Amino acid sequence: MAEAQPIVPPLVIPQEREGSRPFVQVLHDWIVTVDHKRLGIMYFSYGILALVIGGIEASIMRAQLAVANNNLVSPEVFNQLFTMHGTTMIFFAAMPIVFGIANYLTPLMIGARDMAFPRLNAWGFWMTAFGGIILYFSFVGGFGLYGAGSAPDVGWFAYAPLTSPAFSVGHSTDYWTIGLLISGFGSIATGLNIMTTVLCMRGPGMKLNRMPMLVWLNSVMAFLILVAIGPLTAAQLMLLIDRFLGGHFFDTQAGGSAVIWMHFFWIFGHPEVYILVLPAFGILSEVIPVFSRKPIFGYNIMVAATVAIGFISLSVWAHHMFTVGMTSYANAFFVASTSAIAVPTGIKIFNWVGTMWGGKITFTTAMLFSVAAVAQMLIAGLTGIMLAAAPFDWQLGNSYFVIAHFHYVILGVIVFGVFSAAYYWYPKVTGRMMSETLGKWHFWLFLIGFHMTFDFMHIPGLLGMPRRIYTYEASRGWQTWNTIVSIGVIFQALAVLIWVFNATKSYFRGKIAGSDPWDAWTLEWSTSSPPPDYNFAELPVVRSRRPLWDLKHPEDPDWKYE
């Protein structure tokens, strides 16, 4: 059916166009805002900015590695680049982006007027923002002003004892630690807020088992934040104690252990990657049904699988440590727990296929990104399974194969998912449609660039190329592959530029969207685009998982079957 009329009459609150007021006043409004939608947009934009900065750092690294024995950057700068790239991307690009999406959509999707704690929400954003500023201040601060730049160069997991005062002189490591510590507080605040919002702020009739998939996935993400950020915070406090108060937590000279840092970091680090990927799974679970014109296949099982992923992911951390010489029993245990995650993840993939199966699929840009993400999750997951076989990891660990594995997930699933979300919810956020033509250009260029870069990146790993090396000998036979990998980045950068252009242009010129351009089913599409200050004029009553379907199909509503 193609009836695109708003079902619940949209609230007509005359919204002043931002431009008509003095800039300072607009800026002031944004800075002091506690509105979840504005904070969502701020989180998202902050994340995109970091993505571009991190992407530029990556591009410099790729330029350096494109040919053997290259001298574009010094080893010192290269080490700072990958540290800053990894840290920026994980903590200041990916996390703010998924937080932004969660912030914007959670209240809208569950029929609430705002998050549970709006002011805490703003606090969380600003903590994250300040964390990033502190990290980047390292380029100019401290020794940076009167000496070499002092950006941290210890890698994004900052293994001890490289971070100890003996090996990391100056304050570069402290910028890393304090920046992440502060943004960690912000993340905990956001996790707490999402959790409480979901538990306490649902609108009338929105039972837990009627919540949209994205909300479910975000709640599991919030749970993981609450249990997993703590270990990082604790480890960083210990590191600060070591560095500033002369403690010995990670001081191997005084009997301290380097391995315990690894444990602490990865107890955080592994759940962290699921914190990032679950929201992406949520996006796929919203976009695929709408453009297949079918409800999500196996809702209950999808929810159960999500919860299973959440719990299992707390017990697999040492698969990042297969090479540190654990006993054969410990290694075997972590092989088992890690491979076990394949089962619930597989269920998700199969259910997405089940959703498309028998549908009538429209390939909008949003859908293209989502479908590609499903296929790429399959491949990335399977390379994960290869890494999870401990002996295989003894060969693959810390090689470019690992780099390829996780960029495959992070780009191929998370970034693709985020782009999908960007096209899908853009009309809701701005009230205008994004250009589909430019969207298709964006998609195909990014797809080509992504595969050129990250498919071929597996090969040097298999040929013995370790990560974090600023150059390599020509005789090793890695050069051809690295050149291809580097060329792919050009396509990716072009695609991202097209997207930014598309988003900007559509904001002024795009077709007016109306409240429900995709003929979708979840509550956010029942209010106007962009939603008014308090989201809903009248809180909608929900009787099934697809409240808008019920309204559009009074003859055959979902609640009869659930």
Q: Does 396 bind other proteins (CB under 8 A)?
A: yes
Q: Is 3 left (phi over 0), alpha (psi -120 to 50) or beta?
A: beta
Q: Does 349 bind other proteins (CB under 8 A)?
A: yes
Give me the least distance between CB of 203 and other proteins, in Å please: 8
Number of residues engaging ligand HEA in binding (CB under 6 A): 56
The site partner of 392 among ligand HEA, Cu ion, other proteins, none (C-beta below 5 to 8 Å per kind) is: other proteins
For residues 93 and 108, which CB has a smaller minimum distance to ligand HEA in the complex? 93
- Rounded distance, CA 138 to CA 131, Å? 11
Give me the least distance between CB of 483 and other proteins, in Å please: 16
- Rounded distance, CA 239 to CA 235, Å? 6
For residues 431 and 439, which CB has a smaller minimum distance to other proteins in the complex? 439
Site residues (CB under 6 A) for ligand HEA, limited to 268-297: 273, 276-277
Give me the least distance between CB of 507 and other proteins, in Å please: 29
Site residues (CB under 6 A) for ligand HEA, limited to 395-424: 397-398, 402-403, 405-407, 409-411, 415
Site residues (CB under 8 A) for other proteins, limited to 455-474: 462-464, 466-472
Q: Is 148 left (phi over 0), alpha (psi -120 to 50) or beta?
A: beta
For residues 458 and 545, which CB has a smaller minimum distance to ligand HEA in the complex? 458
Q: Taking the CA atoms of the chain, what radius of gyration do you get in angstroms?
A: 24
Q: Which amino acid is at 482?
A: N
Give me the least distance between CB of 65 and ligand HEA, in Å please: 6
Cβ-based neighbour number of residue 182 at 10 Å: 21
- Rounded distance, CA 334 to CA 388, Å? 8
- Residue identified by tokens 């296949």 is 297
For residues 28 and 468, which CB has a smaller minimum distance to ligand HEA in the complex? 468
Convert residues 402-431 into a mask of x (bound to other proteins by CB under 8 A) and - (unbound). Answer: ------------------------------
- Residue identified by tokens 């600003």 is 126
For residues 60 and 301, which CB has a smaller minimum distance to other proteins in the complex? 301
Site residues (CB under 6 A) for ligand HEA, limited to 496-535: 496-497
The site partner of 52 among ligand HEA, Cu ion, other proteins, none (C-beta below 5 to 8 Å per kind) is: ligand HEA
Site residues (CB under 5 A) for Cu ion, limited to 270-309: 270
Give me the least distance between CB of 287 and other proteins, in Å please: 13
8 Å CB contact between 420 and 283: yes
Site residues (CB under 6 A) for ligand HEA, limited to 435-454: 453
For residues 129 and 489, which CB has a smaller minimum distance to ligand HEA in the complex? 489
- Rounded distance, CA 323 to CA 387, Å? 12
Convert residues 255-274 into a mask of x (bound to Cu ion by CB under 5 A) and - (unbound). Answer: ---------------x----
- Rounded distance, CA 401 to CA 86, Å? 16
- Rounded distance, CA 447 to CA 283, Å? 18
- Rounded distance, CA 108 to CA 111, Å? 5
For residues 354 and 510, which CB has a smaller minimum distance to other proteins in the complex? 354
Identified binder of ligand HEA from the candidate list 171, 243, 320, 546, rule CB under 6 A = 320
Phi and psi, residue 466, nearest 5°:
-75, 160
Cβ-based neighbour number of residue 145 at 10 Å: 9
Site residues (CB under 6 A) for ligand HEA, limited to 100-129: none
209 exposed, middle or buried (CB, 10 Å; 0-12, 13-18, 19+)? Answer: exposed
The site partner of 50 among Cu ion, other proteins, ligand HEA, none (C-beta below 5 to 8 Å per kind) is: none
Stretch that binds other proteins, among 14-22, 95-103, 242-250, 425-433 (CB under 8 A): 242-250
Would you call 62 helix, strand, or coil by DSSP?
helix
8 Å CB contact between 498 and 78: no
Give me the least distance between CB of 494 and other proteins, in Å please: 25
Structure letter (DSSP) for residue 288: H
Query: Where would I find the H helices in 202-258?
Result: 213-245
Identified binder of other proteins from the candidate list 30, 117, 137, 534, rule CB under 8 A = 117
For residues 50 and 356, which CB has a smaller minimum distance to other proteins in the complex? 356
| DSSP string across 263-288 | HHHHHHHHHHHHHHHHHHHHHHHHHH
Identified binder of other proteins from the candidate list 14, 17, 147, 328, rule CB under 8 A = 328
Cβ-based neighbour number of residue 437 at 10 Å: 10
Give me the least distance between CB of 29 and other proteins, in Å please: 26
8 Å CB contact between 103 and 121: yes
| Residues in contact with Cu ion by the rule CB under 5 A | 270
